[in-house]
Chains A and B, each alone.
Chain A
Amino acid sequence: DSGVTQTPKHLITATGQRVTLRCSPRSGDLSVYWYQQSLDQGLQFLIQYYNGEERAKGNILERFSAQQFPDLHSELNLSSLELGDSALYFCASSAGGGRANEQFFGPGTRLTVL
């Protein structure tokens, strides 16, 4: 158990809908990262937050947004969902914002868009 929690575990929804994925980092970790894992794209970095502020942005679509709250939990919002958004979404956390810090991954949220 990495100490990173993600809810829900599974999410099934329809095209055009909006969903929110939630992540609680390990106790004391200030950085939160979001990743998307799909068969065709592999593991793709979406966005990083450090202590409430956006730190780095990856291949995140404009339909997606995220935030980190004062208690350091984070939410990833996916809107106008398309079939191609079906994937496993991981949250990870690390102690600081440093590049040398290893990241600890949650169990993921499996999103199915029908």
Chain B
Amino acid sequence: AQSVAQPEDQVNVAEGNPLTVKCTYSVSGNPYLFWYVQYPNRGLQFLLKYITGDNLVKGSYGFEAEFNKSQTSFHLKKPSALVSDSALYFCAVRPNTGTASKLTFGTGTRLQVTL
């Protein structure tokens, strides 16, 4: 069965510093990988996805993520954090073939950016 691990419940970073939110996955075959962000009392917003090709994926609001097949990781990064980036971030995986087709989410990582 597929799974996603987000090992940190919370990540704290100062505004202007780089941020990383970690994600590792387990799936049969090749993965489709996604990052979503959830602001308080809102639905999830799509940030970026990895389908195939270049391992570095660029997304919305200056975020990017690096796919590493050997480490089965898809960490989310941003060179310079903003206070407005404070939110709950979810990594998700979906196998690109096979009978199991659902999107599986991690437990989420709360990002807190302070001045």
Q: Of residues B42, B44, B46, which shows the largest number of chain A Cβ atoms within 10 Å of its Cβ?
A: B44
A48 partner residues in chain B, CB cutoff 8 A: 102
User: Which residues in window 42-100 of B have CB below 8 A to A?
Assistant: 42-46, 49, 51, 90, 94-96
Instruction: Judge whether A58 and B102 touch: CB under 8 Å.
Output: yes
- Distance A42 CA – B94 CA, assembled complex (angstroms): 17
Distance (Å) between the CB of A68 and the closest chain B CB? Answer: 17
Q: Known contacts being A42-B107, A100-B32, A100-B51, is A105 close to B43, with CB within 8 Å?
A: yes
Provide 24 A-B residue pairs closer than 8 Å at the C-beta atoms, listed in order of the A residue. A42-B107, A42-B108, A43-B44, A43-B105, A45-B102, A45-B103, A45-B104, A55-B101, A56-B101, A56-B102, A90-B44, A99-B32, A99-B96, A100-B32, A100-B49, A100-B96, A102-B46, A102-B49, A103-B46, A103-B103, A105-B43, A105-B44, A106-B43, A107-B42
